[in-house]
Amino acid sequence: MEASSSFKEGAEIVFFDLETTVPNRVGQRFRVLEFGAIVVCPLKLVELESFTTLIRPTDLSAVAARSSRHDGITREIVATAPLFEEVADKIFSILNGRIWAGHNIQRFDCVRIREAFAEIGKPAPNPVGMVDSLGVLTQKFGKRAGNMKMASLASYFQLGQQKHRSLDDVRMNLEVLKHCATVLFLESTLPSILQGKWKTSSTITTRNRANGKLHCREEGSRKSPPSSPGYQARSVPYATRERLGIAKMTAKVKNVVCSAQGKQPFNILLKHSRSLLH
């Protein structure tokens, strides 16, 4: 698990995500196109505030004129968005001095944030702790949920399809961790009943149209192992999922194994998962 041990008492957690350009030639760099974040209370995981903004790169030609993804970010969409330096102070205030959380943020988002601040000559924000859900879920859910892409994890928990827009992906990330915490709490509470009930899931795939035929290909993004960029619209809205409640989770948990052994920082999520069961 990729995490910092320097947690401050009472520090808030900020889940965040970046959308960027994808370099297609040597020497080309990532350009931030969108920033989204949700600040949550670590005691209850309730939302305290949120912020999202599109960002126009200084080199607009680096943005694709057309996106291969549904609702993808295009050159036209960011043409009138603020430059990074115009929203840098707000992004700094959202991130600085908080626990950072997200999927594969340690190797991707954190690097891109520091690059963006360096480019405008301003100091980058610093976290007081780090929760990278890629490491957490690799340790706890890797086998049962297939690969570690957010799209696959969301499919496993029947949360719909990933939209690859910052704030939507942040909300999905938070929901995945809540569901994970609930399952692990139940497993640790009823190990003799739930142990050994799950089987390795097959790789999650979607269908991508090419040459007039439908082909199954793995989902992916610039933040996960390379694969085809074919995505479809989200099929299950968040409001619908919330109405389904924890009943669906308790049914699914009969197919998973007891693997919860509380270790920081995931203990923060596990010890408060009782509230998710109410």
Determine the number of helices (DSSP H) and then strands (DSSP E) in the chain.
11, 7
Query: Is 272 annotated as catalytic?
Result: no
What sign has the CA pseudo-torsion 130, 2, 84, 42? Answer: negative
Q: List the catalytic residue out of 103, 164, 272, 278.
A: 164
Pairing of strands 213-218, 47-54: unpaired
Q: Of 276, 249, 247, 253, which is closest to residue 44 (Cα–Cα)?
A: 276
Q: Which of 109, 104, 153, 113 is nearest to 131 (CA)?
A: 104
Q: For residue 21, which of 55, 44, 50, 46 has the smallest C-alpha distance? A: 55
Q: Which DSSP state fits 82?
A: P
Task: Return the percent helix, strand and coil in the chain, to nearest 5.
Answer: 35, 15, 45
Query: Which residue numbers are catalytic?
Result: 164
